[in-house]
Structure 1
Amino acid sequence: MNLTAGGQAGLPLPSRMGRLAPPPVRLQALPLRAMPNWSDAFLADPAEGDIFASRLWYDTTLAHALPQGCVGALALVGEGAALLPLLRGPSGLSALATPYTLDWRPLLGSGDAAEAAGRGLGVWLRHRAPLRLEAMDPEMPGLPSLMRGVAEAGISVQRYRHFGNWHEGLAVDAGWEGYLAGRAPELRNTIRRKLRHAAREFRFELVEAPGTELREGIAAYEAVRAASWKPSEPFPNFDAALMQAAARCGALRLGVLRNAEGHPIAAQYWLVSGGRAWLLKLCHAEAQRGASPGTALTAMMIHRLIEHDRVRALDLGRGDDAYKQLWVSQRRQRVGFVLAHAWHPAGLAAVARHRLAGWMGRGA
């Protein structure tokens, strides 16, 4: 990303905005923990492949995953140039993103408004504490223009690496067998062996719709989660709330594997939208690890997603866990940005740290 006027490297330079007045920014707190109705003009339809910019996602996050001492806020740039869902807390403003967020982005208006929106945001950030944005796709349309506008307003734009994301696009009509053919021979043989064992010993349940089965499925997921190796959830009510909200709009795929006694031993849930499938969480009971119920369940879920839902892409979420590159083949980097004005004490410290990191070769 080629930034000008106070970009990634140092102190802000004089603005190059010319005589065009930048659009103003209005900040609105969200004490009711829900997106206001007027924000629907910016939010995505969860059925069209952009769940993480939808009301479904943000309302669930606001209601069930806000860090202690934080409140949601919306920064509206101009009369529709951009909307930034944010968190306001003790350390200042940041993106409305949590450990569950796979993709956050500014909600832009028309494509040619991105640079003007950036200038407006940059002017608003003058003499303010730094703004941290994270979980962003560096290939997001409009992002270079937005950040160029911020930099032109005299703000230092500091990019950093946030987390890795493993994913894979699927060949049209390749089906399950085509997908398997793309796996390593060792995994392919393991999958077939574990599926044969699971067909004899386990019972597979798939839940997609609201109702009694969903309540039972969530209870099974939570029982497996408690019996797994994973640490406690930072927001214990979020997963259940997200599953319920996703089921209401047809986006949920919750899989549960039970043993012969009916006890759940593995569980995971995916979100499906616009031909894409995202794995949000998976777990298995640690006491059942020898039977590899997690491997069997993942194979069952991907088989279902490919053959029934006809998804064209699989996304395994946040992080570089070793198992992910067995199931999908491509990695991309999610990034963050610190937008800092050196005329604010915290901004000056952020700029100094960034310059020091650059001198030491620790760039994004």
Structure 2
Amino acid sequence: MRERCDSNHVLPVRGRSWEEYQAGLPGKLRSTIKRKSGKLQCRILNRFDEVFWAQYVSIYRESWKPEEGSLPFLRQFAEAEGELGHLRMGVAYDEGVPVAAQIWTIEGGTAFIHKLAYRESAMSMSPGTVLSAAMFREALDTDKVDLIDYGIGDDPYKRDWMEEVRPRYRLDMFRPGSPRNWIALAKSGLARLAGKGQHG
């Protein structure tokens, strides 16, 4: 049985530069980028850096984000991707104070956005938006990627940056010839019928 469970927002670049791409962004987003970019300084590294990592952790702990996964695992991932040359770590600063951080990787012509966070105390400066603009510019104009992948989740802000949505499905596999699967099969079928009734 197949059931839609999530969404994957992506941006097919189609050879565009940052300037060409950003011209098609929603007006409100373009205005924010233009007004706020000059007030923050952004740095992007293509290798793992202890100082950047410490800044990411500090920002993450003061961000709006709930606890996500394991920081030690993410660090190992970032270190490994840095050794391969795939890592892009970005940090935005307000007069030397780190206020936003993002972790991307570049591989096989695709930029994958893994983690992003900003300090809630700096929200008025739109640090996440400013840093995203810098990261997109780097991916489009320097790395020349063909696709940007914002991962899973249907967060509203992703729709502003991405142009296509790819549905993700969950497959439930049962062996109908095995009696021990009958209850699970019946529950799954009833749940699907109930869902159709609610939407129809």
TM-score by length of 1: 0.52
Quote the residue 1:227 is aligned against.
Answer: 62
Contact 2:39 2:94 in 1 (8 A): no
Q: Alignment partner for residue 128 of structure 2, among 282, 294, 311? A: 294
Q: Percent identity?
A: 33
Q: Is 1:192 the counterpart of 2:34 in the alignment?
A: yes
Q: Deviations over 1:316-344 (max 9, x none)?
A: 11101010000111111111111112315
Query: What amino acid sits opposite 1:207 in the alignment?
Result: L
Larger Rg over CA atoms: 1
Output the CA distance in 1 between the equivalents of 2:196 and 2:109.
37
Query: What amino acid sits opposite 2:174 in the alignment?
Result: A
Shift of 1:361: 4.5
Quote the residue 2:46 is aligned against.
Answer: 208
The structure that is helix-richer by fraction is 2
TM-score by length of 2: 0.92
Output the CA distance in 2 between the equivalents of 1:218 and 1:357.
44
Contact 2:32 2:126 in 1 (8 A): no
Output the CA distance in 2 between the equivalents of 1:233 and 1:337.
25
Q: Is 1:314 the counterpart of 2:148 in the alignment?
A: yes
| Secondary structure in 2 matching 1:183 | coil
Q: Is 1:175 the counterpart of 2:17 in the alignment?
A: yes
Quote the residue 1:26 is aligned against.
Answer: none
Q: Is 1:165 the counterpart of 2:8 in the alignment?
A: yes
Output the CA distance in 2 between the equivalents of 1:205 and 1:361.
47
Output the CA distance in 2 between the equivalents of 1:323 and 1:283.
13
Output the CA distance in 1 between the equivalents of 2:120 and 2:52.
19
The answer to which structure, 1 or 2, has the higher relative contact order (CA under 8 A, 6+ apart) is 2
Q: Is 1:356 the counterpart of 2:190 in the alignment?
A: yes
Output the CA distance in 2 between the equivalents of 1:287 and 1:220.
15
Query: What amino acid sits opposite 1:190 in the alignment?
Result: T
Output the CA distance in 2 between the equivalents of 1:204 and 1:191.
13
Shift of 1:356: 1.1
Structure 1 alignment gaps of length 5 or more = 1-157
Query: What amino acid sits opposite 1:209 in the alignment?
Result: R
Quote the residue 1:282 is aligned against.
Answer: 116
Q: Is 1:331 the counterpart of 2:165 in the alignment?
A: yes
What is the aligned-residue RMSD (CA, Å)?
1.6
Structure 2 alignment gaps of length 5 or more = none
Output the CA distance in 1 between the equivalents of 2:51 and 2:135.
18
